[in-house]
């Protein structure tokens, strides 16, 4: 890519910052403008970036653009994956679908609903665990609320097994895995056990919405608009 700081969508060129020929100095306000436009293309004209999501978005952006200095300040390890947590409907899945578009020059991850993984196991058995324990980039959506797998009368905690496989891949090759979840740490441990929960701590950076974050799938509060952010260079 000639200039990774510029992205064209619908015939419009969006600048995300300044490219000096070696690296991009991202401008968060410009990134937000692009994400708002891209979100409307992906999810419809009612999509908007909410002011209360700014802190979560800033962390996700710093992670995605590999801003190591900002990641250190925010306690994020850029070599690990992201586990985005928060209440139902707060926008986790939409943000994980959206945020990958700001770095088209990096290898993208595929978003897979955890329940679909289990349905696959129910159909073809253990091979599904092998299939997702490969070298591809994945973001597993809604981790922890998927049903228990069952194939030929045998129960299996499918996502727990896959997370263990992805952890081994992470140790061997540094391959990152992402996910979203509605559950807190205690609930995840109850769902998967202490061993998997321990591996998840090493596999993921936890980025969390406030537990009071509202369900954005309803109507937005009257008068609310997109985030307006002063320009700042990163």
Residue 203: closest CA among 164, 157, 156, 161: 164
Residue 63: closest CA among 95, 19, 88: 95
- Residue 10's pLDDT is what? 85
Token representation of residue 195? 């061993």
Between CA 227 and CA 29 the distance in angstroms is 9
Is pTM, for the whole model, over 0.85? yes
Between CA 90 and CA 76 the distance in angstroms is 21
Per-residue pLDDT for the chain (234 aa), expressed as one digit of tens each?
Answer: 478 899 999 889 999 999 988 889 999 999 999 999 999 999 999 999 999 999 999 999 999 999 999 999 999 999 999 999 999 988 999 999 999 999 998 889 999 999 999 999 999 999 999 999 888 999 999 999 999 999 998 999 999 999 999 999 999 999 999 999 999 999 999 999 999 999 999 999 999 998 777 777 764 443 334 443 333 333
CATH number of 77-208: 3.40.50.300
Between CA 47 and CA 69 the distance in angstroms is 31
Domain extents for the chain?
A: 77-208
- Residue 133's pLDDT is what? 85
- Residue 214's pLDDT is what? 74
Could you give the C-alpha distances from 95 to 82, 133, 154, in angstroms and in order?
12, 24, 36
């Amino acid at each position: 890519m000639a200039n990774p700081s510029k992205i064209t969508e619908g015939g419009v060129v969006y600048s995300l910052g300044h490219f000096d020929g070696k690296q991009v100095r991202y401008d968060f306000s410009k990134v937000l403008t692009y994400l708002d436009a891209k979100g409307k293309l992906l999810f419809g004209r009612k999509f908007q970036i909410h002011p209360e999501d700014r802190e979560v978005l800033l962390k996700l952006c710093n992670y995605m653009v590999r801003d190591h200095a900002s990641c250190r300040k925010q306690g994020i390890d850029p070599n690990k994956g992201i586990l985005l947590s928060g209440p139902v409907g707060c926008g986790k899945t939409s943000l994980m679908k959206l945020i990958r578009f700001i770095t088209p020059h990096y290898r993208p991850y595929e978003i897979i609903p955890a329940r679909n993984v289990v349905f696959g196991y129910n159909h073809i058995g253990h091979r599904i665990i092998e299939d997702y324990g490969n070298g591809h980039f994945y973001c597993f959506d809604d981790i922890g609320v998927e049903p228990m797998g069952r194939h030929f009368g045998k129960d299996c905690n499918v996502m727990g097994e896959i997370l263990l496989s992805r952890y081994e891949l992470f140790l061997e090759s540094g391959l990152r895995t992402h996910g979203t979840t509605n559950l807190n740490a205690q609930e995840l441990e109850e769902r998967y056990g202490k061993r998997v929960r321990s591996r998840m701590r090493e596999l993921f950076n936890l980025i969390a919405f406030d537990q009071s974050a509202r369900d954005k799938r309803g109507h937005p509060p009257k008068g609310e608009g997109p985030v307006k952010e002063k320009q700042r260079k990163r």
